[in-house]
Structure 1
Amino acid sequence: MVLLGPPGAGKGTQGARLSRGTNIRHVSTGDLFRSAVEANSPAGLRAESYLRSGQLVPDEVVLHVLEEYLVNTEACDICFDGFPRTRRQAERFDDILEQVGLSLRLVIYISVPDDVVLRRLASRGREDDSLDTARYRLSLYHSVTEPLIDYYVESDVLVKVDGAAEEGVVFDQICTLLAQRGLDESDD
């Protein structure tokens, strides 16, 4: 599954909650890249300047890192957040999933108004979340990533939740959607 939404929508928060309460593995591309930067890996070094300025990491770098991850990971239900961000990434992601015997069964669009996004980003305290960078990232989201909503509606895998609601309410909405799709295996 994919969690789709603007920066600050709560994708990482909800993905982490899912991984604690279900058998779904949460994979944040942001965290993967931050780890790669800290490890001084070639992909991390290529991605670092983009991450610091709030720009999107080039598709070929993102796709390479994710393909390596999927090839080297046991089969399981995975929740991606922060990926895909472009239509090209989404199309290539579909191809990669097919190559490794997986499929995308659900995209959860966490919808949040811009003013809430900016307020959340300003309060996170991350180095890459200055107000100017946050505005730029939000602008990039609207121009580059938001068109994925139509792509996934056409693929009949997208559902929308109200991300402006309280964290627990959003989580409950997501759990209901998972149950409806048969993806609600608890981590008992």
Structure 2
Amino acid sequence: MLIRFNKPYGVLSQFTPEGRWTGLADHIDLPGVYVAGRLDADSEGLLLLTSDGQEQARIADPRFKMEKTYLVQVEGIVTDQALTALARGVSLKDGPTLPARARAVAPPAELWSRNPPIRERQSIPTSWLELSIREGRNRQIRRMTAAVGLPTLRLIRTAIGPYNLDGLPSGTWQKITP
């Protein structure tokens, strides 16, 4: 069994709550499914869960390099220079990243509101980019955008390999065919 879940902001990638964050049990009441990969509590979007250990490893294990795609709202204006740096790979404290696919995109028209909303500063514009990576280091997207001078304000994973969020409202899940 494979499930796609549109994880809201503030929900951990585990069934039990911790501190101020809620757990998956508040949204998914299915025994025997396990998270395939992680998504930080302050990130939103696609999370896959499965009852198949081999499928879980294939999705989550960095050795398989399954591409993950994100919509990222950043503080500042996305420049060609920033996109080129992201596409080539950027240097982080734990070493250089692999090259990424990066492009500036228009603000998403069909996006759910976030609770709480992102911080907004009247003097600093925001913009959006789509970023696809094949590795999954801790807070990697946020660190990559910061490295090119574009702090992340909102991070939404839209796809993992062939699986995507299309038409799935925030906080809901659906069984899919692997």
TM class, shorter-length: under 0.3
Structure 1 or 2: larger helix share?
A: 1
Structure 1 or 2: larger strand share?
A: 2
